[in-house]
Chains A and B, each alone.
Chain A
Amino acid sequence: MHAPDGFIDGPTSLAMGVVAAGGVAVCLRRAGQELEEKQVPLAGLTAAFVFAVQMLNFPVASGTSGHLLGGVLAAVLVGPWTGALCVTVVVAVQALLFADGGLTALGFNTVNMALVTALGGYLVFVGLRRVLPRTRGGVALAAGLAAGVGVVLSSLAFSLQYAIGGTGGASAGAVTASMVGVHVLIGIGEGVITALTVSAVLASRPDLVHGARDLAVAEPPAPVAGAVS
């Protein structure tokens, strides 16, 4: 999903840069109110973990690979505004240090991979939490499903940008259909990784999971043999 320079024309890239900057500014304001002191190192860990897992391209159908985007994972762990900023840092480090994702594409890559997944995907997560059981399993399932949807939302965002300012003359409809088709498959991988990771954190430090704060009163910690208390 890391677009190089040149797929989207200059004016559209610039406009998306403005959108990204505005979105990041809003996130910075909101994150200051969302983030608790103890979550600062956790936010750093979340970003670092997303960076690492983004290196792990897994094969999907027909000579194609995909990797975690991590927006929903970050949003569920540390909150949507903070999570969006975590992935923004990842996308920026990748572009500036590892030449992954074009510099003129940094705006729309941030919109697509950080803002759309973390904020849009988190809305899906909140909706799913209302209908799924109020248990750790329910939180992990909601996170996994929302993560999968988040990837498809991200592919739709790129498709929209291609429709506005794409180069190369491909049909916007065909690009959208292809993007959604392949990202449904990548979304399955995203969902599995997200659900497993959220489960692992819930098993060790449930109090650190932003998206499961309501479980603190609803579900006392299950007695675990050998647990140190």
Chain B
Amino acid sequence: MRPRVRLGVFVAVGLGLAVALAFLVAPEASSQPDGLEKVAIDEGFIDGARDHDLAGSPTADYGVEGVDDARLSTGLAGALGIGITFAVTGGLFWLVRRTRRDQPPVPEPTA
């Protein structure tokens, strides 16, 4: 199959879409308890939850400390997370590829 979009363009567009989601959609996301939290409430083990050790960090809970506008704060936190996740993952796999040994390819898991 012939690529219709250059890889660099594809990655740039994908990252742009992710950042757009963080700024435009994430502030509208539901703040209801998620599935596990709801089960913990219903089944009565929610009280076991402890505060996060890093709850005081400047980007805790997907906001940026000091940014008062809630939408902007969420969007900036998202953009930061997207950038760091991209960089860490890219760096990790660059290292993985550099250090891989010349071994025969392993079969992927099959059903």
Contacts and interface: CB of A to CB of B under 8 A. Distances in A.
B100 A33 contact: yes
Nearest to B101: A32
A174 B5 CA distance: 50
Contacts of A103: 52-54
Given A47-B89, A98-B62, A99-B54, A65 B34 contact: yes
Interface string B76-93: 011011111111111011
B44 A155 contact: no
A225 interface: no
Q: Report, as a range, how many residues of chain A touch the other chain.
A: 35 or more
Contacts, number: 265
Given A42-B7, A123-B111, A97 B53 contact: no
A120 to B, nearest CB: 9
B48 A6 contact: yes
Interface centre among B26, B36, B83 (most CB of A within 10 A): B36
B75 to A, nearest CB: 10
B35 A182 contact: yes
A41 B7 contact: yes
Interface residues of B, number: 76
A86 B111 contact: no
Q: Which secondary structure dominates chain B's binding surface?
A: helix
Contacts of B35: 1, 60, 64-66, 155, 179, 182-183, 185-186
B65 to A, nearest CB: 12
Contacts of A95: 54
Interface string B48-64: 11101111010111100
Contacts of A183: 35
13 contacts: A2-B34, A28-B96, A34-B106, A40-B97, A57-B32, A86-B89, A98-B60, A99-B52, A99-B57, A168-B40, A168-B43, A204-B5, A229-B2
Interface of A: 1-7, 28, 30-35, 37-49, 51-53, 55-60, 62-67, 79-82, 85-86, 89-90, 93-100, 102-103, 119, 122-124, 126-127, 130, 155, 158, 162, 166-171, 174-175, 178-179, 182-183, 185-186, 204-208, 215-216, 220-221, 224, 227-229
